[in-house]
């Protein structure tokens, strides 16, 4: 039996069917906003990515990575933001720390729209956005509960 398995393995190498596999993905270094690190949190089917990055100075900012370029999404007047979700239209949802607490945001067409203060635990929020851009789902850690927020704008 062992000899038979070795023969099949050897035959597969001869026929070019060895242990190689096709590459199913490519790894891309997204870079940073000028700081020391960044993290991708979500990706859509077009390869657009959102997450957070440190700029050259100051706390982390949400970003949108698209067509090889990382765009700083800014803040809602507070110190830092994180992008958590992105839909097929390139709209980003996330959380922004403001003087009043953590506010949800929707970034669309170059504008960051304040969706208001997140419910309790919002600092650990995960936000996703529907393809229409109108429905936003908010989950808090440990993701045992979720709340749908509807944005009509």
Instruction: Label residue 136 by pLDDT band (50, 70, 90).
Output: low
User: Is residue 137 assigned to a domain?
Assistant: yes
- The tally of domains found in the chain comes to 1
CB atoms within 10 A of CB 48: 19
Instruction: Label residue 116 by pLDDT band (50, 70, 90).
Output: confident
Is residue 39 within 8 Å of residue 31, measured between CB atoms? no
User: Is residue 39 assigned to a domain?
Assistant: yes
User: Is residue 21 assigned to a domain?
Assistant: no
Spatial separation of the C-alpha atoms in residues 13 and 74, rounded to whole Å: 54
* Residue span of the structural domain in which 92 resides: 28-143
Is residue 52 within 8 Å of residue 82, measured between CB atoms? yes
Spatial separation of the C-alpha atoms in residues 4 and 25, rounded to whole Å: 34
What pTM, to 2 d.p., does this model score? 0.71
User: Is residue 148 assigned to a domain?
Assistant: no
- In the structure encoding, which two tokens stand for residue 74, read together? 């800014």
Identify which has the larger pLDDT, 23 or 79. 79
């Amino acid at each position: 039996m062992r000899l038979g398995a070795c023969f099949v393995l050897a035959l597969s190498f001869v026929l070019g069917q060895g242990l190689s596999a096709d590459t199913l993905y490519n790894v891309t270094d997204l870079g940073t906003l000028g700081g020391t690190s960044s993290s991708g949190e979500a990706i859509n089917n077009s390869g657009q990515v959102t997450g957070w990055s440190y700029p050259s100075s100051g706390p982390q900012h949400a970003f949108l990575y698209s067509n090889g370029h990382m765009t700083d999404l800014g803040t809602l007047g507070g110190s830092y933001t994180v992008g958590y979700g992105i839909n097929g239209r390139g709209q980003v949802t996330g959380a922004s720390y403001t003087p009043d607490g953590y506010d949800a945001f929707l970034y669309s067409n170059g504008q960051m729209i304040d969706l208001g203060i997140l419910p309790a635990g919002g600092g650990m929020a995960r936000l996703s956005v529907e393809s229409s851009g109108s429905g936003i789902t908010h989950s808090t850690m440990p993701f045992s509960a979720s709340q749908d927020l509807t944005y009509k704008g």
